[in-house]
Amino acid sequence: MDIGMIGLGRMGGNMAERLRRGGHNVVGYDRDPQISDVAGLEELVERLPAPRAVWVMVPAGDPTRQTIHRLGELLEPGDVVVDGGNSHYVDDQKHGEELAAKGIGFVDCGVSGGVWGLENGYALMVGGDEEHVKRLMPIFETLKPEGEYGFVHAGKVGAGHFVKMVHNGIEYGMMQAFGEGYELIAASGLVTNVPETFRSWKEGTVIRSWLLDLMVRAMDDDPELSGIRGYAQDSGEGRWTVQAAVDHAVPLPVITAALYARFASRQDDSPAMRVVAALRNQFGGHAVESAKGADSAGADVEAPSV
């Protein structure tokens, strides 16, 4: 099958390569001319036979919006666009309506697999009309892992990125649980071999998983993880998951706490915890640590610890 791939970065480039290995003809465009097959979107569209299929793999937000808007100007009725980035599902609904008005199909596809996807395949979560999804199945079949699992047509336009958003929210909670468990085990003073403890869980336990495998792999390189700063970014899906939970009145305490933990990781000196320390000092006389690291005693009062 012929397909255009816009965005040949770490994910898009590997996906294009997997498709080529699967026998598909991929015309790739990237702003970096050294890895691009064409000079621009116009040439990409010209190189593809009608009806065309174009996969967009650029950062979410304005880059995706601008790319899809431009494709709407260049493509023809009967063509179809796939957004495989991490777009917000609300944007998908707008893009679907915009392209449908011109007779152009739209499919949103949440993609998971990271740098391992080239060899192992990508989990694909798709939203869109049945006719458009069916037409793209040769592409999906090549990108997904071999076997029964790794692909779902989740529902209408927006459904693919919605379930990918929730998938990433679940991922936040699972990673946070591993991190907290690690910290407690390391702090216990009882466990002298933390990496081997986690390695032992790779078989026979209910928490065995790919994330556990990756954690063990990280500790193989750095057993105490001393070379890594405890700072975690978020790519947006966690925030959108929590916002969707508010919109639908669905309680998500674990995922919400995991998101807030990432925010806390970015503060060398948390303003909120400074307030907590100051209040404990005021009502209980508990010692506080100065900005320079020295302890200072509070008022001479007897009070229970809080």
HEC readout, 244-264: HHHHCCCCCHHHHHHHHHHHH
Terminus-to-terminus CA distance in the chain, angstroms? 65
* Longest pairwise C-alpha distance within the chain: 82
Residues written for the chain: 306
164 labelled catalytic? yes
Going by their DSSP bridges, the two strands 105-112 and 53-56 should be labelled as: unpaired
Among residues 156, 164, 202, 292, which one is catalytic? Answer: 164
- Residues annotated as part of the active site: 164
